[in-house]
Amino acid sequence: MEFRRITVLSAGLGVPSSSRLLADQLAASAERQLAAAGYAVDIDVVELRDLAVEIANNFVTGYAAPKLAEVIAGVEASDGIIAVSPVFSASYSGLFKSFIDVLDPKSLEGKAVLLGATAGTDRHQMVLDFAMRPLFNYLRTRTANTAVFAGPQDWGNNDDGGSPLSTRIDRAAAEFTALLQGTQPKHKQAALESLPFAELLAGISVRR
């Protein structure tokens, strides 16, 4: 049985978070469809709000603290990513973009990606195609054609699998599953190299 590893990135700020709820539903549908296709699946859910301080410190110091470094390594080792962000000022959240910025831009190349977004009004649903999709296209990922937006009207009802939101989730997850089948791009392998302390300092000093 082949194995697929998926990292779920939720940039929601609240507890509970609609972004996390959407991310969980996307992950559950993808896991179910991959299992039906004969794949073993490992899903790692990352709440970016728990890493906010470490992400900010990484920009200042150029160093990823152990917890953040572990998450970055997990993203790089994943076959696929489910990325969900709330909408702020007609775009993805600053926390979401900050996490993407601490990654090696080449580490996402070729990875399967499923996009989702949440907001307080349907007027923001174009964020998926005008902000999030261009970002992941720039990073050279393989992004599912269908992305999922969830607004206030999508929550609060008994979602038994027949709602419009469930239909969108299953369609997007099916496309994501198709991207994860067959031969996958090789994972980025981090070079294990011990540098002199002076060189480490020099590398930090040239960061913005």
DSSP state of 155: S
pLDDT computed for residue 207 by the predictor? 47
The count of residues in the chain is: 208
Provide the 10 A C-beta neighbour count for residue 127.
23
Token output for 108: 């996402």
| Structural contact between residues 73 and 48, judged by C-beta atoms closer than 8 angstroms | no
The residue-averaged pLDDT of 182-201 equals 58
Torsions phi, psi for 56 (to 5 deg): -65, -45
Rounded Cα gap, residues 108 and 37, in angstroms: 24
The phi-psi region of residue 89 (left if phi > 0; otherwise alpha if psi is between -120 and 50; otherwise beta) is: left
Rounded Cα gap, residues 122 and 153, in angstroms: 9
How many Cα atoms occupy the beta-carbon half-sphere of 128 within 13 Å? 22
| Structural contact between residues 119 and 86, judged by C-beta atoms closer than 8 angstroms | yes
Token output for 191: 């070079």
Token output for 147: 């992305």
Provide the 10 A C-beta neighbour count for residue 183.
5
Token output for 144: 């599912």
Counting residues of the chain whose pLDDT is more than 90, the rounded percentage is 75
Domain ranges of the chain: 2-205
- pLDDT band at residue 203 using 50, 70 and 90 as cut-offs: low
Report whether pLDDT(6) > 90.
yes
Q: Find tokens 């301080």 and name the residue.
A: 53
- pLDDT band at residue 124 using 50, 70 and 90 as cut-offs: confident
Token output for 207: 């960061």
Rounded Cα gap, residues 108 and 78, in angstroms: 9
Q: Which of 11-15, 75-79, 97-101 has the lowest mean pLDDT?
A: 11-15
Provide the 10 A C-beta neighbour count for residue 101.
11
pLDDT computed for residue 34 by the predictor? 98
Q: Domain 2-205 carries which CATH code?
A: 3.40.50.360
What pTM did the predictor assign? 0.86
Collapsing DSSP to helix, strand or coil, 86 comes out as: strand
Q: What is the DSSP string of 18-82?
A: HHHHHHHHHHHHHHHHHHHTTEEEEEEEEEGGGGHHHHHHHHHHS---HHHHHHHHHHHH-SEEE
